[in-house]
Amino acid sequence: MAAPNKGRRPAAGGQSKPGRALAFILIAMVALTGGMFLSHTTTPRLGIDLAGGTSITLKAKAEPGQESAINKKNMDTAVSIMNRRVNGLGVSEAEVQTQGSDNIIVNIPKGTNSEQARQQVGQTAKLYFRPVLTAQATAAPTPSASPSAPGKATPSGAPSASGKPTPTASAKGTPNAGKASASTKPQGRALTDALKASGSPTPGASKSGTPAPDPSASGDAAAAAKLQAQFAALDCSTKEARSKAGEGAKPTDPTVACDKDGQEKFILGPAEVDGTDVSKSQAVINQNGQWIVQMDFTSGGSKKFAAITGKLSQQQYPNNRFAITLDNQVVSAPTVSSTLSGSAEISGSFNQSSAQDLANVLSYGALPLSFQEQSVTTVTAALGADQLHAGLIAGAIGLALVIIYLVAYYRGLAAIAILSLVVSAILTYAIMTLLGPAISFALNLPAVCGAIVAIGITADSFIVYFERIRDEIREGRTLRPAVERAWPRARRTILVSDFVSFLAAAVLFVVTVGKVQGFAFTLGLTTLLDVVVVFLFTKPVMTLLARRKFFASGHPWSGLDPKRLGAKPPLRRARRTTSAPVDNPKEA
């Protein structure tokens, strides 16, 4: 016969060491709260309906002879691309939607870099890769002429004609070599020669590979001289002037352009690669700890990019550069050191922001239409603030009713439920606050509704567990075994219920856009936190309190009074009796 199992109590699916779970969740709360203060972010980021923001209206502009291009399909495509552009900047809760047949409204919440987002959303022309025929620094104060800004170090790298480090394009894994050389002004025949050397046709020539006629025997010299005159007169000092540079130029013609900062101006050859040939672009950190931009091309784009970089790599600076233009403004002009094909990387003195901006432009640069900015207005949060105030009052009333019900029905057990709600609230608040700077999560009105709905989901989990414990007590068991026996069944029910809620939130998040996603995200987050709180706080606290006399003895105010619950008498094992004498006591 087996020896009795002395000094051991079966856990029945429960936790043998509840202190560990409580220590874990306490550490998590301290870490999250400490992270809030260390990041100097103590309040959640608010959406445009609560905090206000910027609203941009863009109007589709019909190109000559292409008036039919303004249609629903192209407008929907433009909305999709703009939405990805804004999200590529890390802006969450932004809204991009059509208005009428030819307008697009972009709403950007306060607290983000709205000016940066405005510039990228407003860049609606197509993206092109053009060879650089010549480049020249614009008139700008030199370091010796003006004091340098305090606290700013001179960037390292090879300076271009403008004094800025020149980005370098190379195949992935190929070391980049900086190029430093002053640019020159080609005059007349020199500009024509530069066009020929780059493999590009001169103005008026065919791009099919037909050699350009001699300038002395045709009008090419006059066209080159006209282009040179435009280059000499080009003003890059203001944003308006930069946007008008090369206005009206066709992709198949050379043109003049400014860089986006107005520090350098260019004569560019015809477009060799279209922005639609870029399949993917991303900002990453290389092995040297420097930010670079990686590009992948489509099969057709790979062939075209290999052809142009093969020609440029044989040229001298600055004719070994290609310019990435958007709205005919140069967003980057890296040098080329070798023939590139399916994938390439652009390196230079990038920081995280500039690398992500360039990658964003490369990824989402091509739009099927051109747009003109109609208006930029500031949105106030007065209406949203009133709605938030009303929503918070409704939430507070609902929470108060839940607490009153818990106290009236569960009495002492209500303290455990209230403490669990407090823990859940702390975790939810801290995570939402930290998600603001981390993934640009913004709390809008639907998200607040999701948090309020979560109160009922969390309270439901406590009720399931408490009722299982009370059922065990009704069966005649004492509290400590009842707590452990009730847990496996309650745990199963809680997990199934929370899984259904989380699945609904996930589906809603995937199939919707805009503010409804905020509701789905908050609902899904609080559902996950409900599981964490019930497993790591509610159950361990219940295990510890079951050892206290107030609950273990079934005090009337504990909520676990056997008499009040109508418990059955304790089950006792009947002793086996016999009238015959027993020779061996061990057999009894």
pLDDT by residue for the chain (588 residues), tens digit each?
A: 444 444 444 444 445 578 889 999 999 999 999 999 988 888 888 777 777 777 888 888 766 666 677 888 778 777 877 776 676 555 556 678 787 788 888 877 776 666 666 666 655 546 788 898 888 887 644 333 333 333 333 223 333 333 344 555 554 433 333 333 333 334 444 455 555 554 444 443 433 333 333 434 345 677 788 888 888 888 888 877 787 787 777 788 888 989 877 888 999 989 888 877 887 788 888 888 888 888 888 888 888 888 888 888 888 887 888 888 876 778 788 888 777 767 777 776 778 877 877 776 676 555 667 777 787 777 676 656 677 777 778 878 888 888 898 898 888 899 999 999 999 999 999 999 998 888 778 787 888 888 888 888 888 898 899 999 999 998 888 889 999 999 999 999 999 999 999 999 999 888 876 678 888 999 999 999 999 999 999 999 999 999 888 888 888 888 888 888 877 766 554 444 444 554 554 444
Taking the C-alpha atoms of residue 371 and residue 363, their distance in angstroms, rounded to an integer, is 18
pLDDT computed for residue 212 by the predictor: 39
| Residue closest to 429 by CA, chosen among 418, 441, 417 | 441
Q: What is the pLDDT of residue 137?
A: 85
Q: Which of 169, 166, 164, 165 is nearest to 138 (CA)?
A: 164
Q: Which pLDDT belongs to residue 188?
A: 43
Would residue 348 be called left, alpha or beta, if left means φ above 0 and alpha means ψ between -120 and 50 degrees?
Answer: left
If 0-12 CB within 10 Å is exposed, 13-18 middle and 19+ buried, where does residue 147 land? exposed
Question: Looking at residue 416, what is its pLDDT?
Answer: 92
CA distance 54 to 112: 10
DSSP line for 209-220: SPPPPPGGGSSH
Q: What is the gyration radius of the CA atoms in the chain, in angstroms?
A: 35
* CA gap 519, 536 in Å, rounded: 26
Which residues, 6+ apart, have CB-to-CB distance to 487 below 8 Å?
Answer: 12, 13, 14, 465, 468, 539
Instruction: Name the H helices within 67-209.
Output: 72-88, 114-122, 189-197
For position 127, what pLDDT does the model report? 75
Q: Please, which residues have CB within 8 angstroms of residue 14's CB and are 6 or more apart in sequence?
A: 483, 484, 487, 539, 543
Backbone angles phi, psi at 329, to 5 degrees: -110, 140
Alpha-carbon gap, residue 86 to 404, rounded angstroms: 46
